[in-house]
Structure 1
Amino acid sequence: MATIPVDDLEITRQFGPHLSASTRAGTSTEPDRLVKTHCCFCGQQCGIQLKVRGNEVIGFEPWEEFPFNRGMLCPKGVKRYLQGSHPDRLLTAVRRDPSQPAGFRPMPYDEAIAFAAGEIRRLQEAHGNAAIGVLGGASLTTEKTYLLGKFARVCLKTPYIDYNGRLCMVSAGAANKKAFGIDRTTNPWSDMVGTEVIWIAGSNVAECSPITTNYVWQAREQGAKIIVQDPRITPIARTCDLFLPVRPGRDAALFAGVLHLMIENGWIDREFIAAHTVGFEQVAEYCRAFTPARTAEVTGVPERSIRKAAELWGTARSSFLLHARGIEHHSNGVQNALGTINLVLASGRIGRPKSGYGTIVGQANGQGGREHGQKCDQLPGWRDISNPEHRRHIASVWGVDERDIPGPGVDAYEMFRKIDAGEIKGLISICFNPKISLPDNEFVARALDKLEFYVAIDFFLNDTARHADLVLPGSLQEEDEGTVTQVEGRVIKINKAVDCPGEARRDWVILQDLARALGRPHGFTFSSPREVFDELRVASKGGVADYSGITYEKIERQMGVFWPCYAEDPETGRPTPDHPGTPRLFERGSYNPVARGAGPFYFPDGKARFNVAEYRTPVDDVSEEFPLFLTTGRVVSQFLSGAQTRRIGPLVRQYPEPRIEIHPRLADKLGIADGDWATCETRRGAITLRAMVVTTIRPDTIFIPYHWAGPKSANRLTVAAQDPISKIPQYKVCACRVRRAEGAPDYAARLEPQQ
């Protein structure tokens, strides 16, 4: 089937002053009530109070008591409430009908559920259970992600489920598992304040996680030195103490070079290494080859800066290292993340106040969304789907035979390869927009059109859903309740503010309606998210991600609970109803169910693992034909694929169109002036955008934000290379060439203001 054509302008022209229904009607905008909840966007999950009148969110108030953000919000958080009244909101199910102007026609909800169930049943009867794939989202509540994993494995009995966190956190997760045996930020963000050094690697915190910037600034005011590693002088780098302008794709080499100098100068904690780690000698041997001169040559970072970074980090008494997609979105992403962990372990500064390590989570539930079963190789509680003991535990909770739980599936991108090959015939997606967010997305679009049946669950008809045969109207965050786990590992509660409008349904209700329509209701008779969470608590008990001691009441009483939180003491087995959670991992004397008192790290011997973090040149590296690096990322007013933020007028006005950031030296060489149309071309395609000439980027690198669709989509250019361990795509580097465009692109004429 072909996609329903859509011009981004079709949505963009609806932007403008966005007024709520009550404002348009001229009625009072005073709220009936305030609902304490959280922002729907990034992994910081800032506390916010939504102003509600009738069944509409009409504004917000700061929630100053919530400990993470203390009332502060970024531009997206301030304007997030505006999407609820958008005219694009799906109020009914829609079925593909090319005879209609919009390509779809409304369909009663019950008929739509029956139609979807019939098509799923038809495909599975003809081709087997594995003919259906499921794609979830890391912005869903943990209750929904748990239920989605259960739905795929119990109701559909398919191994093919994965999620868009595959594009976000998996390189860090794999590295954490290899090094620590557990995948979570080690310390609360408050531990940054009072530390001596903060190293930020590959994270544009000021635009992508602005409230984190406040913690960095507080630390700086108390004397902390700030190191920033990035190909661009991001806003946080403009006032840092040391900027490391690393060449894209060379991060592992930089970490190896810094560790080389730490070892050479004796800036390591040999007592900690001997007592609490294994594998150091192999890492030291590997780093021996990365002399300062070689490291500078490979990375493009001056040798004096490499030496300064090693001295600042190596001689500090306390430190905090943060990284994000800048070092993770690589075909070498796991190795890059392991390189940071080696620096942390070698310093011996972990498991204590004011010294931490963490990954800055991108999506609303990027942490919780990967812990409880929608990942292709995982069962709830961060259990391994290939481990017989783990499978037996989950089977007992679900009331099924362990043999009936499918084995591991494949990553999200590999699912599209299987669709392209005809192995997966049908697809169910929820809150995932892969046509925009996956690399080489022209291939993704072609694969979507090969599906025999595709049903999307979402609250807007996003770019991917336009390929669907059926779209079921799901719920906004404020229309349901549940939990998410934010960047620090703090489990928090989303509170329902309004009901779903029209025939829209809460997502977990839709899944259960599908299960009943399929005649497979076993395990899908929950009456509330609380009931789902209570089953999740039992399922996670004894796992690494143990939520068994967490309740909705405890979350609200404590304003969040850090996992692991035990219902029973893992050492004595006695009930511990008042276990407060674990704000700081690996503290000396801490107990965990894996090490059982042998040490603080989550391996049987209680010791952390050094891992050789091998440097490899990126796939699709620069060449004579394509001499420049293309890197991609976010801007402050937009989020992910833009399906939400491109519908919020003030955010669109702040950054209405993507630009090609280019250094003045390169722009002069190519004859490109600021504001000119420029064409970027890679081995997969070309796009034409206006140039933004800036001094804050390497002269051999260009940057394009990825939030836009169609002819403005940066992921038309990116390469589908993946890390061999995490399967994360290599968004942050591919070879390109740039030229001044001969004229404006076709879409530009349609963007001119209407007379």
Structure 2
Amino acid sequence: MSEPPSRTPEVDTHCPYCALQCGTRLADGRDIGVTVRPADFPVNRGRLCQKGWTAPDVLAAADRLTEPLARAPDGHLAGTTWDDALDTVAGRLRELRARYGPDAVAVFGGGGLTNEKAYLLGKFARLALGTSQIDYNGRFCMSSAAAAGNAAFGVDRGLPFPVTDLATADTVLLAGANVAETMPPLMQHFDTAELVVIDPRHTATAQRAKLHLQPAPGTDLALALGLLHIAVVEGLTDADYIRRRTHGFEAAVRRAMAWWPERVEGVTGVPASVQRTAVRMLAAAGRAYVLTGRGVEQHSQGTDTAAAFINLALALGLPGSGRGGYGCLTGQGNGQGGREHGQKADQLPGYRSLTDPAARTHVAGVWGVPSESLPGPGRTAYELLDSLGHGQGPRALLVFGSNPVVSAPHAARVAERLASLDLLVVADFVPSETARAADVVLPVTQWAEEEGTLTSLEGRVLRRRALLTPPPHVRTDLEVLHGLAVRLGEPAHRYPTAPEDVFDELRAASRGGRADYSGISYPRLDAGEALHWPCPDTEPAHPGTPRLFLERFAHPDGRARFAEVDHRGPAEHTSAAYPLYATTGRVLAHYQSGAQTRRVAELNGVVPEPFVSVHPDTAARAGLADHSLARVTSARGSMTARVRLDATMRQDTLFVPFHFPGDGRANLFTHPALDPRSGMPEFKLSAVRLEALPEATP
């Protein structure tokens, strides 16, 4: 009989869910299992949301993966040994690469992976596999805001200031962010601020707002342009700040001048008087912040929309001024760090560009390989998934920390592409919908069983600490990558398995990059230092940079850039066949694809099945009542959900959460149209119809 896992009595760590990364203290309750209590950490100040309180329940999930699985001849997944699993995977990868070339193998990562995992995954793809085909699910989350932030400021950090600065605000504009449900502990930082909320739905956050702007889906860019127009016409811009600290104001304003309030009202439905009130509230505030979220970013024009809200913040003189700022609310637990260290299609560690010769030379030097051996940029996330199994597309896919069968747009199409592969390998700790489709499943550690670092939405690097030893036949992702790399002929030392060793290499690879971690170390983090990047390796030790842009922006001339953007319509419009808009999002009880939270009885009891929020009049026209079973259908597919009547909904708009599998997948109807700059799919707007279903339908 095997020995029970060893345990550490208590550890200080962080919640495994969103990018707020609330501080927690885990304890081994022995007979009662793992317990959690909130820490007095700056972002959560002794509070947790429902997901945080129940996070330990996932550690004891009844269907936890505890041994490798391989697809048997009869089509079922059956237990196997680690050696057989890794030998099988490595052998098939060698065969496919030899026959079709290195790009026949692809890798798909996740924004929940630790910094160490994200870093080693990118290195593994480019060296052990030699493939350019790597991207991650953060492309579905932060890519539009990241592209806009890099263009405007020269660097992308979700919040270029600490979360605690928001508590000093007089006015906060939240555009497309339902913080009260997605990041509840953040709401306490808005207690003294007047909130201006932009959202097609009257969300829990909008209910707390002083002013709610409720635009038609897909019109946020027109609204942002209109707000800038008002600021200029009413003389509310900060002329001195614009002159000293920015470029491109005149070109941006020329575009905005075409969007006078009454025209914006006609396009968005937001009254001109409400638009003016919103701008005046921001301009009159002693301290004001403009924050964007996925609601305005997950569109085929998401980058331009984020840029338009940055334009508004710059025109009011907020970023880096000490009087407020602009930020985007990063979603996934390591959404910030996950996009900095090399698992993106076009990126190297330190937030370096894969096409920059100097960046390639530096990173190749750290890795001990010629820079010319590094492949170039590959396909972005949806393009990668859509290309699988095609004539020139990848024939094998390795998935770490993601569940694209549920989370990707046009989900039925993605499931078909995954099924067409010669080899699908998934590393996970529960049998997600993607894992169930795999040829080989590799069981890996959970958050409370592993060491590492994550980077919060405010650019603060945090330590994840292990409370439990994983089950005997479970390995870390670092050990999985090491085992595969060695079998593929790589030197063992190139793929460390100790997280601190990987982090030390990451520090060297990031040195001098936009996201410079070279001055951050485990000893400094374990000593309790609050270290925000950039934190270069200096003598004396650099204190980190909690507030960016106070003296200059990250462009060579130190100035921010206005963006010359204009409104364009969504990828599809309503029609007689599809007369309604559908938008998707999260609910308080669940997280992302739901693979974790649907396994927590308390959370699943709150929202046990997919639903569609509908205005009562819209439901009546479709012959539907509260709790009726309905089908939501677009040109791409349809899903089934239970009706929830909501009199605050726009009559032309439906809302569906995206946390559910099978026929309840919202992403069965979502549009795969991509933002041309960020690769972000148009999750937030689909033209659909609503139909009643008989109760006998499963």
Structural mapping, 1:438-453, within 5 Å: 438-453=408-423
> 1:661 maps to what in 2?
613
The one of 342, 359, 377 aligned to 1:408: 377
Instruction: Tell me if 1:581 matches 2:550.
Output: no
**Using the alignment, how far apart are the partners of 2:520 and 2:594 within structure 1?**
33
Instruction: Tell me if 1:706 matches 2:665.
Output: no
Instruction: Tell me if 1:279 matches 2:248.
Output: yes
Instruction: Tell me if 1:679 matches 2:648.
Output: no
> 1:624 maps to what in 2?
576
SS in 2 for 1:446: helix
Indicate conservation of the 8 Å contact 2:485/2:495, yes or no. no
TM-score (norm 2): 0.97
Structural mapping, 1:336-735, within 5 Å: 336-353=305-322, 355-422=324-391, 423-521=393-491, 524-558=494-528, 560-568=530-538, 575-577=539-541, 579-588=542-551, 600-735=552-687
Instruction: Tell me if 1:189 matches 2:163.
Output: yes
Q: How far does the alpha carbon of each residue in 1:629-661 deviate from its partner, in whole angstroms, 9 at most, with x for none?
A: 000001111111111111111110011111110
**Using the alignment, how far apart are the partners of 1:657 and 1:731 within structure 2?**
20
**Using the alignment, how far apart are the partners of 1:33 and 1:389 within structure 2?**
47
- RMSD, aligned CA: 1.6
Q: How far does the alpha carbon of each residue in 1:307-359 deviate from its partner, in whole angstroms, 9 at most, with x for none?
A: 11121122333211111100010001001100110011001122144512211
Structure 1 residues 55 and 43: CA distance shift in structure 2, 3 A? farther
Structural mapping, 1:164-179, within 5 Å: 164-179=137-152
Structure 1 residues 745 and 502: CA distance shift in structure 2, 3 A? farther
TM-score (norm 1): 0.90
SS in 2 for 1:135: strand
**Using the alignment, how far apart are the partners of 1:256 and 1:315 within structure 2?**
19
> 1:62 maps to what in 2?
38
> 2:84 maps to what in 1?
111
Aligned-pair distance for 1:186?
A: 1.6
520-529 or 485-494, which deviates more: 520-529
SS in 2 for 1:35: strand
> 1:92 maps to what in 2?
67
Indicate conservation of the 8 Å contact 2:614/2:651, yes or no. yes
Aligned amino acid, residue 463 of structure 1 = E
**Using the alignment, how far apart are the partners of 2:168 and 2:367 within structure 1?**
46
Q: Is there any run of 5+ residues in structure 1 with no aligned partner, and where?
A: 1-24, 26-30, 569-574, 589-599, 748-755
Structure 1 residues 655 and 378: CA distance shift in structure 2, 3 A? same
**Using the alignment, how far apart are the partners of 2:73 and 2:658 within structure 1?**
29
Indicate conservation of the 8 Å contact 2:673/2:682, yes or no. yes
Q: Is there any run of 5+ residues in structure 2 with no aligned partner, and where?
A: none
Aligned amino acid, residue 156 of structure 1 = L
The one of 158, 161, 165 aligned to 2:131: 158
**Using the alignment, how far apart are the partners of 1:502 and 1:697 within structure 2?**
50
> 1:591 maps to what in 2?
none
**Using the alignment, how far apart are the partners of 1:669 and 1:449 within structure 2?**
39
**Using the alignment, how far apart are the partners of 2:116 and 2:686 within structure 1?**
37
Structure 1 residues 635 and 98: CA distance shift in structure 2, 3 A? farther
Q: How far does the alpha carbon of each residue in 1:379-428 deviate from its partner, in whole angstroms, 9 at most, with x for none?
A: 00010100101100001100000010101111111112221423211111
Aligned amino acid, residue 744 of structure 1 = E
**Using the alignment, how far apart are the partners of 2:342 and 2:8 within structure 1?**
38
Q: How far does the alpha carbon of each residue in 1:178-237 deviate from its partner, in whole angstroms, 9 at most, with x for none?
A: 1000001221111111222100000110111111111112xx2xxx32100000011111
The one of 173, 177, 184 aligned to 1:203: 177
Aligned amino acid, residue 206 of structure 2 = A
Indicate conservation of the 8 Å contact 1:98/1:104, yes or no. no
Indicate conservation of the 8 Å contact 1:55/1:499, yes or no. no
Structural mapping, 1:65-144, within 5 Å: 66-97=41-72, 99=74, 103-144=76-117
Indicate conservation of the 8 Å contact 1:549/1:576, yes or no. no
SS in 2 for 1:454: strand
Aligned-pair distance for 1:57?
A: 5.0
**Using the alignment, how far apart are the partners of 1:204 and 1:342 within structure 2?**
22
Aligned amino acid, residue 646 of structure 1 = R
SS in 1 for 2:632: strand
Aligned-pair distance for 1:502?
A: 2.9
Aligned amino acid, residue 568 of structure 2 = R
**Using the alignment, how far apart are the partners of 2:200 and 2:28 within structure 1?**
43
Q: How far does the alpha carbon of each residue in 1:44-103 deviate from its partner, in whole angstroms, 9 at most, with x for none?
A: 111111112569952112222x22212211011000101111121111000012637xx2
**Using the alignment, how far apart are the partners of 2:696 and 2:292 within structure 1?**
37
Aligned amino acid, residue 52 of structure 2 = G
**Using the alignment, how far apart are the partners of 1:697 and 1:323 within structure 2?**
21
Indicate conservation of the 8 Å contact 1:37/1:50, yes or no. yes
Aligned-pair distance for 1:270?
A: 0.8
> 1:744 maps to what in 2?
695
Instruction: Tell me if 1:43 matches 2:6.
Output: no
Indicate conservation of the 8 Å contact 2:133/2:379, yes or no. yes
SS in 1 for 2:517: coil
**Using the alignment, how far apart are the partners of 1:313 and 1:735 within structure 2?**
34
**Using the alignment, how far apart are the partners of 1:518 and 1:663 within structure 2?**
56
Indicate conservation of the 8 Å contact 1:352/1:584, yes or no. no
Query: Alignment length, in residue pairs?
Result: 692
Indicate conservation of the 8 Å contact 2:8/2:467, yes or no. no
SS in 2 for 1:227: strand
**Using the alignment, how far apart are the partners of 1:207 and 1:523 within structure 2?**
44
Aligned-pair distance for 1:525?
A: 4.1
Q: How far does the alpha carbon of each residue in 1:577-628 deviate from its partner, in whole angstroms, 9 at most, with x for none?
A: 2x1111111112xxxxxxxxxxx11111111000022211100221232111
**Using the alignment, how far apart are the partners of 2:659 and 2:491 within structure 1?**
38
Aligned-pair distance for 1:32?
A: 6.5
Indicate conservation of the 8 Å contact 1:194/1:354, yes or no. no
Aligned-pair distance for 1:155?
A: 1.0
Aligned-pair distance for 1:663?
A: 0.8
